[in-house]
Amino acid sequence: MNSYIPSINIVLCIALVAGALLPLLATLGKRFAHSQLLSLLTVCLWILIPCLVVATAFYFRGWNYQVHVQPTNRPIEVSSNGYVSSKTCRSCHPNQHATWHQSYHRTMTQVAGPSTVIGDFNDRLLSLGDKDYLLRRKDDRFFVNMENPAGDPQQGPVPRIDVEIVMTTGLHHMQAYWFATEASRLTGMLPFVFLSQEKQWIPTSASFLRPPSSEVKHDFGRWNLTCLKCHTTHPKTRVENEFSMDTTVGEFGIACESCHGPGEEHVRRNQDPRHRYQLHLDPGSDQSIVNPLKLPADRASQICGQCHSIWIQSGEAAMEWQKKGFQYRPGDDLHRARVVVNKGVSSKHLQRVLRDDPDFMRNRFWPDGMVRVSGREYNGLLQSSCHERGNLSCLTCHNMHESKAPLTLDDQGWADDQLKPFAEDNRSCLKCHEDFRESKKLTAHTHHLANSQGSQCYNCHMPHTTYGLLKAIRSHQIDSPNVQTSLATGRPNACNLCHLDQTLAWTAEHLGQWYGEQIPEMNESQRTVSAAVLHLLSGDAGQRALLAWALGWSPAQQVSGTDWMAPYLGQLLNDPYEAVRFIARRSLQGLPGQDVLDYDFVGPVKQRVAASQRILQQWSGQVRSKPRAALLIDAKGKLNTTLFEQLLRQRDDRPLRLAE
Percent of the chain with pLDDT over 90: 73
Higher pLDDT, 111 or 51: 111
- Residues 173 and 231 both lie in one domain: yes
- Residues 31 and 179 both lie in one domain: no
By mean pLDDT, which of 17-26, 574-583, 641-650 is the weakest? 17-26
- Check whether 141 has a pLDDT greater than 90: yes
Radius of gyration of the chain (CA): 31
pLDDT tens readout for residues 466-518: 999 999 999 999 999 999 999 999 999 999 999 999 999 999 999 999 999 99
- Residues 248 and 137 both lie in one domain: yes
Q: Is residue 21 part of a domain?
A: yes
Q: Give the mean model confidence (pLDDT) for residues 371-400.
A: 95
Q: Is residue 449 part of a domain?
A: no
Domain-terminating residue out of 228, 263, 282: 282
Q: Is residue 457 part of a domain?
A: no
- Residues 25 and 74 both lie in one domain: no
- Check whether 64 has a pLDDT greater than 50: no
Q: Is 244 exposed, middle or buried (0-12, 13-18, 19+ CB in 10 A)?
A: middle
Range of the domain at 584: 496-660
Q: Give the mean model confidence (pLDDT) for residues 55-75.
A: 64
By mean pLDDT, which of 66-70, 91-95, 446-450, 609-613 is the weakest? 66-70
- Check whether 452 has a pLDDT greater than 80: yes
- Residues 75 and 54 both lie in one domain: no
310 in Cβ contact with 340 (< 8 Å):
yes
Domain-terminating residue out of 388, 423, 458: 388
Among 95-99, 174-178, 337-341, the range with the most confident prediction by mean pLDDT is 174-178
- Check whether 263 has a pLDDT greater than 70: yes
Round to whole Å and give the CA distance between 399 and 405: 11
- Residues 23 and 160 both lie in one domain: no
Q: Give the mean model confidence (pLDDT) for residues 388-397.
A: 94
Give the 3-state secondary structure of residue 158: coil
Percent of the chain with pLDDT over 70: 88
By mean pLDDT, which of 11-20, 246-255, 289-298 is the weakest? 11-20
**Average of per-residue pLDDT values in the chain:** 89
pLDDT of residue 6: 42
- Residues 303 and 207 both lie in one domain: no
Backbone dihedral region for residue 550 (phi beyond 0: left; psi -120 to 50: alpha; all else: beta): alpha
**Buried residues in 15-36 as b, exposed as e (16+ CB within 10 A):** eeeebeebeeebeebeeeeeee
pLDDT of residue 433: 95
Q: Is residue 470 part of a domain?
A: no
Of 488, 491, 518, nearest in space to 380 by CA: 491
Q: Is residue 486 part of a domain?
A: no
pLDDT of residue 82: 97
pLDDT of residue 65: 43
- Residues 132 and 271 both lie in one domain: yes
Q: Which helix (H) or strand (E) holds 352?
A: helix 348-356
Round to whole Å and give the CA distance between 625 and 454: 27
pLDDT of residue 214: 79
Contacts of 367 (CB under 8 A, 6+ apart): 488, 489, 490
Counted domains in the chain = 4
pLDDT tens readout for residues 306-338: 999 999 988 788 888 888 999 999 999 999 999
Amino acid at residue number 259: C
pLDDT tens readout for residues 189-212: 999 999 999 999 999 999 999 998
- Residues 34 and 136 both lie in one domain: no
Round to whole Å and give the CA distance between 455 and 426: 9
Higher pLDDT, 265 or 279: 265
Alpha helices in 290-337 (DSSP H): 297-305, 315-324
Work out the pLDDT band at 8, boundaries 50, 70, 90: very low
Q: Is residue 458 part of a domain?
A: no
pLDDT of residue 16: 57
- Residues 305 and 276 both lie in one domain: no
pLDDT of residue 414: 86
Q: Give the mean model confidence (pLDDT) for residues 22-37.
A: 55
Higher pLDDT, 350 or 299: 299
DSSP string, 92-132: T-HHHHHHHHTSTTGGGEEE-STTT--S--SSEEEEETTEE
pLDDT of residue 493: 98
Q: Is residue 54 part of a domain?
A: yes
- Check whether 5 has a pLDDT greater than 60: no
- Check whether 60 has a pLDDT greater than 50: no
Q: How many CB atoms lie within 10 A of CB 518?
A: 10
Domain-terminating residue out of 248, 282, 316: 282
pLDDT of residue 15: 57
Q: Is residue 123 part of a domain?
A: yes
- Model confidence, pTM: 0.89
Provide the 8-state DSSP code for 419: B
Report the half-sphere exposure of 515 (CA within 13 A, side-chain side).
14
- Residues 275 and 361 both lie in one domain: no
pLDDT of residue 274: 83
Our measurement of the distance from residue 103's CA atom to the centroid of its chain's CA atoms, rounded to an integer in Å, reads 11
pLDDT tens readout for residues 537-555: 999 999 999 999 999 999 9
Contacts of 80 (CB under 8 A, 6+ apart): 234, 248, 250
- Residues 223 and 116 both lie in one domain: yes
